[in-house]
């Protein structure tokens, strides 16, 4: 399973260019700024690296580490040029995303400045940008596949329910919202209670999984006359051993999660058991994607 997901990610990474993925919201400073200026920029914008530019060319970069050292030695009032790393590795915006992915695995850096053909700074790329772009691309492709698979059974526009929910790490308060809506929607459609229950269990388990175990993610519900499809995608950290994760009783939950009544190692096996189709792919450092289908007119 891991192999096929790695392969899919590779294909995606070739299809996308760094330009499509980078953030263009750049915080850069000029040579005559001080370390204190950079510290303020980092603090106010929640970033951990700031390039130093001269006429839009990258001449250096200041990391959080550089700031800490300057702070320790009371040198925050000094110019960035005295402290910056001048040997900056940049990436060209024209390159395929796969180059950025290997750059991150070959270097210890948490970000790369991205430059255009004139070698001017045009963006920044971080692992988070990459994760988000891959997830976006995966969902888009999934929707395409879905449409291709059922061209004759294209449901009437008013009978399709398609909604995405954002889930935040440890936000147990709001987990369950998608499942509640799913339940209401299926009830409205007159789906038999037993099937509704199976669908709601899948959805709830996947919601809780994202909240309890991932850095956050999204859950997308797609309902037509024949099926309910859930796609749960998170931003990592990914599952190193999928076989173990699918085994009942295996859990990596911490004490706090357990105190909330979760983390018994039943989530994924439960979700799989009640689904008609169940697929999971995970890449360490990349994230996890679960796709589950419950047919709405097929009793067990």
Partner 1 sequence: MKTSELEKLGFECLQNQFEDVEIAGGYTSDLLSDVMANLAEHQVLITIQAHKNTVAVASLADAAAIVFCHGRKATADVVSAAAQEGIALFSSPDNQYNTTCRVAKFLGA
The residues binding partner 1 (CB under 8 A) are: 172-173, 175-176, 179-180, 183, 193, 197, 200-201, 204-205, 208, 260-262, 264, 266-267, 270, 273
| Separation of alpha carbons 194 and 118, rounded Å | 62
Residue pointed to by tokens 């004759």 = 152
Find the helix or strand (DSSP H, E) in which 124 lies: strand 121-125
Residues ≥6 apart with Cβ < 8 Å to 88: 51, 58, 59, 60, 61, 113
| Least distance between partner 1 and beta carbon 265 (Å) | 8
Minimum CB separation from partner 1 for residue 262, in Å?
6
Residues in the chain: 300
The conformation of residue 148, written as its DSSP 8-state character, comes to H
**Residue 57 or 273 having the CB closest to partner 1:** 273
The least distance separating partner 1 from the CB of residue 5, rounded to whole angstroms, comes to 25
Residue among 84 and 230 whose Cβ is closer to partner 1: 230
**Nearer to partner 1 among residue 154 and residue 177 (C-beta):** 177
Judged by CB, which is closer to partner 1: 84, or 292?
Answer: 292
**Nearest approach, Cβ of 253 to partner 1 (angstroms)?**
10
CB of 171 to partner 1, least distance (A): 11
- What would the DSSP string read from start to end of 232-290? EEE-S---S-HHHHTSTT-----HHHHHTT--SS-HHHHHHHH-SEEEEEEETTTEEEE
How far apart, in whole angstroms, are the C-alpha atoms of residue 80 and residue 99? 29
Nearer to partner 1, 134 or 201 (CB): 201
């Amino acid at each position: 399973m891991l192999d096929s997901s790695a392969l899919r990610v590779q294909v995606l990474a070739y299809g996308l260019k760094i330009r499509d993925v980078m953030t263009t919201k750049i915080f850069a400073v000029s040579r005559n700024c001080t370390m204190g200026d950079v510290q303020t920029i980092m603090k106010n914008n929640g970033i951990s690296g700031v390039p130093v530019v001269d006429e839009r060319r990258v001449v250096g970069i200041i990391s959080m580490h550089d700031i800490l050292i300057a702070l320790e030695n009371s040198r925050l009032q000094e110019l960035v040029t005295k402290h910056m790393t001048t040997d900056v590795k940049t990436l060209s915006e024209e390159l395929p995303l796969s180059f950025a992915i290997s750059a991150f695995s070959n270097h210890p850096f948490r970000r790369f400045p991205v430059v255009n053909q004139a070698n001017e700074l045009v963006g920044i790329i971080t692992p988070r940008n990459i994760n988000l772009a891959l997830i976006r691309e995966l969902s888009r492709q999934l929707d395409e596949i879905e449409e291709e698979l059922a061209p004759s059974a294209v449901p009437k526009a008013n009978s399709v329910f398609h909604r995405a929910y954002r889930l935040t790490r440890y936000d147990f308060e709001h987990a369950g919202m998608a499942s509640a809506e799913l339940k209401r929607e299926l009830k409205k459609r007159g789906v038999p209670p037993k099937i509704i229950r199976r669908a709601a269990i899948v959805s709830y388990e996947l919601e809780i999984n994202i909240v309890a175990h991932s850095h956050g993610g999204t859950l997308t519900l797609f309902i037509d006359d024949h099926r309910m499809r859930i796609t749960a995608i998170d931003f990592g950290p990914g599952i190193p051993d999928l076989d173990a994760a699918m085994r009942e009783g295996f859990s990596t939950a911490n004490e706090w999660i357990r105190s909330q009544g979760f983390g018994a190692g039943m989530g994924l096996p439960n979700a799989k058991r009640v689904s008609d189709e169940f697929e999971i792919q995970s890449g360490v450092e990349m994230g996890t994607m679960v796709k589950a289908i419950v047919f709405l007119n097929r009793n067990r």
